[in-house]
Amino acid sequence: MISLVRLDTRGRLVIPTEFREILGLKEGDEVLISLDTKTDTITISPIYEGPDRLIKMEIEFGDTPGCLAKISKKIADMKIDLVMTESKSSQRRRKARWDIIADISKCSYSVNQIKQLLLQSGFVESMSIVKMTHGCLHC
């Protein structure tokens, strides 16, 4: 579905009623807004469990076949819900990076435990993980 909307004088836009109904969004609900400067696109994603359970992970790993899938399986096993992701090779066949916005509301591990488990998996070379906050532009 696509809809053309107009920004008002304060830079606000209205999400069309049909979109809100399909997504179950109502007044007061929170959404995640992401800007991709490479493609000049904005993405809006509903946040169903509350923003206090959102984290941002930046994972560096070996750029070998299947490595991303193995890390993904570890994350899924911890019951971490991926909201937005982007992966890319930073050094072809040697190093890759995966940027993730995730919902940890169903995960029983702390942020530090998540980091340690991923680092101990043998697939992750380095990573950072931070909790997201309201209005967080570059968290």
pLDDT in tens, 79-101: 999 988 989 998 888 999 999 99
Give the least confident one: 54-63, 110-119, 127-136: 127-136
Domain count along the chain: 2
Question: How many angstroms separate the CA atoms of 78 and 106, rounded?
Answer: 8
Does some domain include residue 36?
A: yes
The tens digit of pLDDT for each residue in 62-72 reads 999 999 999 99
- The residue segments making up the domain with residue 3 are 1-48
Kindly state whether residues 17 and 37 are assigned to the same domain.
Answer: yes
Kindly state whether residues 63 and 110 are assigned to the same domain.
Answer: yes
Please, which pLDDT band fits residue 129 given cuts at 50, 70 and 90?
A: very high
Does some domain include residue 136?
A: no
pLDDT at 37 over 90: no
CATH code of residue 24: 2.10.260.10
pLDDT at 137 over 60: no
Give the least confident one: 12-21, 28-37, 128-137: 128-137
Kindly state whether residues 60 and 79 are assigned to the same domain.
Answer: yes
Does some domain include residue 137?
A: no
Residue 57: CB atoms within 10 A of its CB come to 24
Kindly state whether residues 90 and 33 are assigned to the same domain.
Answer: no
Supply the pTM of this predicted model: 0.76
Distances (CA, A) of 53 to 44, 62, 104, 110, 111: 17, 28, 5, 11, 10
